[in-house]
Amino acid sequence: MGVGASAAYAADAPRGQQVANANACMGCHAVDRKLVGPSFQQIAAKYKGDRDASAKLARKVKDGGSGVWGMIPMPAHQSMSDADIHAVVDWVLAGAPSK
Ligand code: HEC
């Protein structure tokens, strides 16, 4: 399982990407262009070198909020587990790689 040719299949995608797909993040975000919210690559660039970014963005995903990128609010995700939130936030901060 999970060798060579199967790398493109969803099951082999990074966990953060799977979490993003499973929680409708991609309805408002894309990896490389702005949709309703900033692209995940823009977010990675903005917080590059910010050691508090992971904790700060995890709270933002959970509680929602606005005013960092514009007036459109990011909805809260209270039902997501902390493990899923950290996986997706760390994936975003890594620049949302496809593998
Ligand atoms: C309904 C649309 C919508 C959905 C769904 C959504 N977002 Fe967002 N997101 C936004 C908007 C709008 C912003 C900009 C908020 C701001 O300006 O403070 C944002 C900002 C962010 C940021 C940057 C926050 C900051 O303070 O810089 C992260 C990280 C993020 N979203 C991750 C996620 C993840 C992960 C999910 C899925 C669990 C998700 N978003 C789902 C609209 C959305």
Per-chain mean pLDDT for the chain: 91
* pLDDT > 70 fraction of the chain, expressed in percent and rounded: 89
Please determine, for residue 1, whether its predicted confidence score (pLDDT) is greater than 80. no
Rounded CA-CA distance 12/35 in Å is: 25
The tokens for 96 are 């949302």
DSSP state, 49?
A: T
Residue 95, C-beta contacts closer than 8 angstroms, at least 6 positions apart: 40, 41, 44
Q: What are the structural domains of the chain?
A: 10-67+77-93 (1.10.760.10)
Please determine, for residue 9, whether its predicted confidence score (pLDDT) is greater than 70. no
User: What spacing in Å lies between the alpha carbon of 14 and ligand 1's midpoint?
Assistant: 19
- Report which ligand 1 atom has the smallest distance to the Cα of 27: 5
88 C-beta closer than 6 A to ligand 1: yes
* pLDDT > 90 fraction of the chain, expressed in percent and rounded: 86
